Amino acid sequence: MSDNIPLMPKATAVWLVENTALTFDQISNFCGLHPLEVKGIADGEVGAGIRGRNPMLNHELTREEIQKGEEDSNYKLQLTKRTVVVPEKKRSGPRYTPVSRRQDRPNAILWLVRNHPELSDAAVSRLVGTTKPTIVSVREKSHWNFSNLKPIDPVSLGLSSQMDLDAAVQKAAKRRAKMQPAEPTGATLKPASETVPNQIITPQPEEQPKAEPDAASVFAGFSSSADDEKED
């Protein structure tokens, strides 16, 4: 839990919406929520059934701070210094999923296996709080309700935090990079002495160019042929 927001942000936001004239931006900034989420609380679409928590009774906000915020819409409320530190609970095993959200888990699994196939079944199980058989059935399209499933981001469904999802994706990417074999370097041709070690290569003699006959030898040949004919 961050030291800059109240211990129960939504419950505090519900109380501030119902009991003050603060703007949605001021309440969202103080409680660490999105302005649209605060607007949803005011419209009754978000936080239905959540009982408001008075931050003044819990010494997280003073009446003076609320008055400053009501008088100046640009004023950012300051959280009273917390005197009690609540340690974060370390979670082991699959994430607990509220009963109202359990029907959304197959949709979240489908989103994860499509957008982040590098995630292992164990990682998906930790993110959305489900079992391996359910993950396998969604991967293999054998889930009993697969035809009606829609891929939905588990963060938007409230099944996982963006921080946990990013950490799981980064871890899976590093593991995949380590498992991939290194690319072979460019091969070079071996010399003939290595490929054919016992063969002796002897150079072939070059053909000598033939000398062109001169005119004198040609005429001498003609005259000798004529003399032989006269004698016959």
CB distance 154 to 160 below 8 Å: yes
- What integer pLDDT is reported at residue 16 of this predicted model? 92
- H/E segment holding residue 132: helix 132-139
- What integer pLDDT is reported at residue 87 of this predicted model? 46
Q: What residue ranges do the domains of the chain occupy?
A: 9-71, 99-179
50-106 pLDDT, tens per residue?
788 888 887 888 889 999 988 998 999 988 865 444 444 545 555 555 555 668 889
What is the mean predicted confidence (pLDDT) over 122-134?
Answer: 89
Indicate whether this model's pTM tops 0.85.
Answer: no
Phi, psi of 116, deg, nearest 5: -135, 70
Gap between the Cα atoms of 47 and 203, Å rounded: 93
48-66 pLDDT, tens per residue?
677 888 888 878 888 899 9
- What integer pLDDT is reported at residue 182 of this predicted model? 56
